Amino acid sequence: MTLPTPAALREALPAGTRRVLVAFSGGVDSSVLLHLARDAGLSVRALHVHHGLSAEADAWVEHCQTVCAALGIPLEVRYVRTERRGIGVQAGARNARYGALAEACARDEAVLVGQHADDQAETVLQRLLRGTGPDGLAGMAPVRAFAEGWLLRPLLAATREEILAYARAQGLEWIEDSGNQSCVYQRNRIRHRLLPALQAEAPGVVAALNQLAGDARAEHAARDWLLAEQCHACEICPDGPLRVSRLAALPATVTHSLLRYWVRQGGWRPPGRRRLLAGVPALLDAGADRHPQLAWRDGQIVRHAGVLFRLPPCLPDRPPPQAVNADAAGSPDSTIDWCGQGVIRFTQSPVGTGIAAAALPWIAVVRVAGAGERVRLAGSPLRPVRELLREAGVPPWWRERWPLLTDARDRVIGIPGIGAGQGFAAGPHESAMQACWIPARAPQGADWSVPRVPLGP
């Protein structure tokens, strides 16, 4: 184990990386990382996250500003609020910190964080104590996709002692967080009590735990490769909703691994092993009229019509009515942006279908359906809006949020994509228009933007 050289740090950057953002706390680890990045000749900027959890937090900001000014490195300070409910102070601070880093990360930028080999050993031990599965043994990844760029841990092969020795040799100054000495938190107890006891028994335990994490990551990569092949063989698209019938012939262990892979492909950390084992039977074996769900901190999996969807942990609010500018629609490729929920796009329709273009400027409001609201589409009797949506394959969460186009008297003149004539109640016209509804992607929930149940067996 050893520190990376400046050349090795440059070579570790993913292709296309234009600059790096160092997560700079002012502690010894991030101080060494900042100097290594500067010495590597990289385009460097730094970010300090002010959590407000220590009386010394303002002094840490001043220290970081002084260091960065001396190095000629731009520093941004972000003040965050730590959410502690249900997860604890340390986890809340970590979530806030990575949230700030994700917001600051520019396209094609690599965020550098200062975790090292001892941190990796502590992570593996902490997960073991919590009953982790094989994926948890992989610990922290040296590099992974992050926000619009990458997240790297260049010091992961160096021990705490090696980092301290380098900092002293270079005459660096750093801050010490007194909170790291408190044994109130489990991670600190692992650091100050458990790991030293293990080192006394087996001096190479840090290296052994790091090797275990590396082996687990290799097994993880091999398993994902095999699962991708299995998805192809079973005609499963891991980038979209998952049809339950595709899983029917698979052994239970393969099903669980495939579900974890599918969740990761959607950008989430999968639910814990015990939660997954408890929730999978309901997802796979529920009756056709049931809508079971498996929820955890990052999101939820909901079953509808024999299909599994990855949805946000909390569904967005129903959009309020939105007035439409008279010039917002009325020509091919014009659009209406609706409250950040998505886009209604208008296109030319075949003669004899759609809505007369002359009527489009009279679209006054876009809104969702009221309770029990009925509408008469072209050539059809008066029917409940939600019934029309259900017959069109719209899942329950979208029936509450599907846009209706109304005139100045609040009469529904169209439901994008639903019913005869592509959803409009108007008759033939030489210049007819049709509309489709394109939901916006949610920050979480890979299948939130899928407005209908996918076709297929």
* Residue 148: Cβ within 10 Å count: 11
| pLDDT reading at 326 higher than 80 | no
| pLDDT reading at 420 higher than 50 | no
When comparing pLDDT for 98 and 351, which is higher? 98
**Contact by Cβ (8 Å): 204, 114:** no
Residue pLDDT, tens place only, 79-127:
998 876 666 788 888 888 999 999 999 999 999 999 999 999 999 999 9
Q: How confident is the model at residue 277 (pLDDT cuts 50, 70, 90)?
A: confident
pLDDT at 424: 41
| pLDDT reading at 60 higher than 90 | yes
Give the pLDDT mean for 126-132.
90
Q: 111 CB contacts (<8 Å, ≥6 apart)?
A: 20, 21, 22, 23, 101, 104, 105, 146, 147, 149, 150, 151, 152
Q: How confident is the model at residue 236 (pLDDT cuts 50, 70, 90)?
A: confident
The per-residue pLDDT of the chain, averaged, comes to 86
pLDDT at 358: 44
**Contact by Cβ (8 Å): 164, 32:** no
pLDDT at 54: 86
**Contact by Cβ (8 Å): 373, 384:** yes
- Tokens read off for 380: 């059809």
pLDDT at 86: 63
pLDDT at 332: 63
Q: How confident is the model at residue 330 (pLDDT cuts 50, 70, 90)?
A: low
| pLDDT reading at 144 higher than 50 | yes
Half-sphere exposure of 440 (CA within 13 A, CB side): 15
When comparing pLDDT for 133 and 332, which is higher? 133
pLDDT at 328: 58
Within the chain, how many helices (H) and strands (E) appear?
14, 20
CA distances from 310 to 252, 351, 352, 403 (A): 20, 39, 39, 22
pTM exceeding 0.85: no
Task: Scan for tokens 């210049």, then name that residue.
Answer: 431
When comparing pLDDT for 347 and 71, which is higher? 71
Give the pLDDT mean for 411-433.
57
Give the pLDDT mean for 152-172.
96
pLDDT at 357: 43
pLDDT at 425: 37
pLDDT at 398: 93
CA distances from 6 to 33, 106, 225, 440 (A): 10, 22, 33, 42
* Percentage of the chain lying above the pLDDT 90 cut: 49
pLDDT at 339: 83
Domains for the chain: give ranges and CATH numbers: 6-212 (3.40.50.620), 234-311 (1.20.59), 322-439 (no CATH)
Give the pLDDT mean for 195-206.
96
Q: How confident is the model at residue 237 (pLDDT cuts 50, 70, 90)?
A: confident
Strands 19-23, 109-112: pairing kind: parallel
Between helix 28-39 and helix 160-169 the angle, nearest 10°, is 60
Q: How confident is the model at residue 327 (pLDDT cuts 50, 70, 90)?
A: low
Give the pLDDT mean for 186-191.
92
The pairs formed by 389-392 with CB atoms below 8 angstroms and a separation of 24 or more are 389/415, 389/418, 392/417, 392/418, 392/419, 392/452
Q: What is the 3-state secondary structure (H, E, C) of 131-144?
A: CCCCCHHHCCCCEE
